[in-house]
Chains A and B, each alone.
Chain A
Amino acid sequence: MIPLSHIRNFSIVAHIDHGKSTLADRLIQSTNTVSERDMKAQLLDSMDIERERGITIKANTVRIDYTAANGEAYVLNLIDTPGHVDFAYEVSRSMRAVEGSLLVVDASQGVEAQTLANVYHAIDADHEIVPILNKIDLPAADCDRVAEQIEDVIGIDASGAIQVSAKTGQGITETLEAIVEHLPAPKGDPDAPLKAMLVDSWYDSYLGVIVLVRIIDGRLKKGEKVKFLSNNTVHHVDRIGVFRPEMQVVDSLGPGEIGFLTASIKQVRDTRVGDTITHERQNVEPLPGFKPAQPVVFCGLFPVDSNEFEDLRDAIDKLALNDASFSFEMETSAALGFGFRCGFLGLLHLEVIRDRIEREYDIELITTAPSVIYHVYERDGSMTELHNPADMPDPSTIDHVEEPRIKATILVPDEYLGDVLKLCQERRGIQMDLTYAGSRAMTVYDLPLNEVVFDFYDRLKSVTKGYASFDYQLTGYREDNLVKMSILVNDEPVDALSMMVHRDRAEMRGRAMVEKLKDLIPRHMFKIPIQAAIGGKVIARETLSAMRKDVTAKCYGGDATRKRKLLDKQKAGKKKMRQFGKVDIPQEAFISALKMDS
């Protein structure tokens, strides 16, 4: 049994590409946690999408045994957390499960937005923070400047920042020593009733749901019955273990330890991040801050090939088993056929799920415009939740429409403040607060969620060169002048492109939409009017002119095979388009059309 004083729990906070995963790899490697033979780059990122985008969606964890310079043996638990605003809640829970953080900053790049968003989670969780300047092997590295920036921008002492090259291995031992020296040992009472935090969970086809836990008090042993406080369910624990990073079974877990349990749980839905776990007959105070996952962004997912609908259903069922925050119901569209209306935590979550379906299940998808949940009050007093603009009732029956609002907190260096305020105003924001901390401004806005879900975060990053951090929480519903805007292509309405807009912004959005579509739809052999309309009134119109020339100059005997195959390929390419009347619309148009450039 490890004494609490010899446990250190920590996470790594970093911006994408600042070397978080590589540093984690080096820590694992230099402590011989994984044999040379099993070592592969970015051990902790298990899913392809994570590897490719360099983001972590599920919390990953690894237990490292480390004998420090003082000769004592320590157990170091690293939790690697998702870094995106969509997963802010998951990040905040993971942060609560550890006592300290390594703040990794690329010494050639400096502090960036995501660093800030996550370091504030760490500060919120009262972490000790060890600053690390990574990539010092790069010629552009400037340790003094970046250390100063950490002090200025984040407000923590960076004088003792460790200089590391995760690539060459320089500074790794110093990092391990700093974890032992500077991070606090966890606190907890081994004799108190069991209290553990459910940090994350995921589905494994052999073991059922694997639950990542941090023990706060008491001991958890194999064979015990445990209770999840949020839903009062009881489970028989059939396996306990730790990650190295592969699973290793242990007999029990005590205070301060991080590990997993399995209990023949069938669905990830039954395990909620942030929940409190105790023994069956015990009563403990639930951990603060727990909230169930609520999808906030909805969109339609349709198979490109309508024969793949059943395959899509199967894929979505399986993904939902492993993702409690993802919801779905069947949807039919006049244009797109059968598909699913799905709910997500945010846009990255949407993209991740969509990519996984396309990649892991090999189903090509059409994604429709993301939308939020509107409350539509009809004249008879009834209220319906509108998840899909296509389902908007007849306007004559509507009394009023309410939309979800958020409280958005944005931190930004003051030189970008003007652009941020302009962006928030453009998105119908109402300023609630503006304060300064050194050269950083913090502004709080009341914004319609609808204006944020699509590309607010991208726009914010671009107007602030990545230096803004952004976080939000839902605050409730408010009435506004909201209407459904339809898009007509060659005089045919395309239901999948209809969207809810504020009346005052309808012309602008409509104009932007038809201009975008004009670029996204390939020229046809005839001219195509593209219109935006509210009810029967056209508010914007563009005409896509007819193609003028499409003929192969040379085609002789030797070209027959190649040209025939080219025609076949074009036919296959056409399958990726959807036909509306006589017009083929490429699938990417459905999502790209909604991206706003200004």
Chain B
Amino acid sequence: MTEDWEAGGFGLYLHWPFCAAKCPYCDFNSHVTASVDHDAWSKAFVSEIERVGALTKGRVLHSVFFGGGTPSLMAPSTVGAIMDAIQRTWPTANDLEVTLEANPTSVEAGKFSDFRSAGINRVSMGIQALNDGDLRKLGRMHNAAEALAAFDVARKTFERVSFDLMYGRQNQSLSQWEMELKQALDLGLDHVSLYQLTIEPGTVFGDRYKVGKLRGLPDDDLSADMYALTQDICADHNMPRYEVSNHAAYGAESRHNKIYWRYGDYVGIGPGAHGRLTLDGIRTATDQVRMPTAWLSGVDRERQESLSGMDQAVEFLMMGLRLTDGVDPARYERLAGQALSGSRIADLQNMGLLTATKDKISVTNQGFTLLNGVLRTLLED
């Protein structure tokens, strides 16, 4: 019998929790520390891989993703040791995707060829903006010229390169964003992640926002206009949206992230890493301790929680509708034990937010901008 996760694939996420500096918008589990014992971290990751490998024997691994924090600060030898352990542990797909998140500085660009040798074949670069003033405001340590130079090195080193841009920044106008996005797309890349700046609680921006000190953020209307414009420009450049914030040329999508959105199984190791693993037929949420020192100690490193059918169905729908491909309603029904409400689907169709056929439900262009509302409507009791 096939298990539900097989419809999404199997990947591994590895979290490197350290950064050279914390960015004011970032709510990821990242820490700034004076020194890192690379050897100890390398050993700990390898032992985690071996532990999880024993629970998932024989599965074919489709992707590995080094996220953070700033994994480009890892020693290439650590990456190499981890990749060796992975190859020893699981059979891997012929087209195994191995992505590393990288900061676009000259220091890191200098390590790219060593990362390539260690087994990385894709990098995702946190460029964020193409003008120096905004990069400073976002707390980034690179400037635009340095970023573009690092991107050039990356392109020459790796098979696949993507980068992130952030828009909806303070005092950013629609036309400024249009120019910046076109400049980025003219670089001729085949994958880009375009995120609208989100103010998260517990970040420097979040604190400033709360006291009214973060001014010039776009209102609801400008946000919506920026998102719509982004879609138009990307489509013109043959870089259509395949997920809410991700665009790729045909075939160049991130295989790793599609495992999340197709609700496959993924191993999550490293401080604060989450995973979804079907163990003995039960889909389990795993969650590792957040503080790097606690994680490294190895004591109570991971918590596990079985997910109910409904929890899985909600996650499946929530992740899956982010894709232009949409979801198979039959899969939802198998997980939830009940079908989605036909009348709610019809309501959303009438509002022009959803398209539905017997074997596929997906959101429309307009539905993407209101995805949270679409989900609430579909999942309402």
Contacts and interface: CB of A to CB of B under 8 A. Distances in A.
A504 interface: no
A551 B311 CA distance: 20
B189 to A, nearest CB: 19
A557 interface: yes
A560 interface: yes
A556 B268 CA distance: 12
A576 to B, nearest CB: 14
B46 interface: no
Given A525-B351, A548-B220, A574-B380, A557 B266 contact: yes
Contact of A567 (B227, B245, B322, B379): B379
Contact of B244 (A526, A553, A568, A570): A553
Interface string B187-217: 0000000011110000000000000000000
Interface string B298-326: 00000000000001001100110010000
Interface in A545-566: 547-558, 560-561, 563-564
Nearest to A551: B371
A547 B273 CA distance: 34
A559 to B, nearest CB: 8
Contact of A551 (B351, B372, B380): B372
Interface residues of B, number: 46
A558 B347 CA distance: 31
A553 B226 CA distance: 13
A281 interface: no
A165 to B, nearest CB: 35
A567 B13 contact: no
B370 A547 contact: yes
A567 B370 contact: no
Contacts of A554: 195, 198, 245
A53 interface: no
Interface in A263-287: none
Nearest to B254: A556
B60 to A, nearest CB: 18
A40 interface: no
Contacts of A552: 198, 244, 371-372
B140 interface: no
B167 to A, nearest CB: 10
A552 B381 CA distance: 22
A571 interface: yes
A556 B371 contact: no
Interface in B245-277: 245, 257, 259-260, 266, 268, 272-276
Contacts of A570: 376
A555 B322 contact: yes
B376 A567 contact: yes
Nearest to B218: A549
Nearest to B15: A558
B372 A550 contact: yes
B373 A525 contact: yes
B318 A563 contact: yes
B260 A571 contact: no
Contacts of A571: 376, 379-381
A553 B218 CA distance: 15
| Residue from the set B221, B268, B372 with the largest chain A CB neighbour count within 10 Å | B372
Interface of B: 13, 195-198, 220-221, 223-224, 227, 244-245, 257, 259-260, 266, 268, 272-276, 285, 287, 311, 314-315, 318-319, 322, 347, 351, 353, 368-377, 379-381
6 contacts: A525-B353, A548-B224, A548-B370, A551-B368, A551-B371, A558-B273
Interface of A: 524-526, 547-558, 560-561, 563-564, 567-568, 570-571, 574, 582
Given A555-B319, A567-B375, 19 more contacts: A524-B373, A525-B373, A547-B370, A548-B220, A548-B224, A549-B220, A550-B370, A550-B371, A551-B372, A553-B197, A553-B244, A553-B245, A557-B275, A557-B276, A558-B272, A560-B285, A560-B318, A571-B379, A571-B381
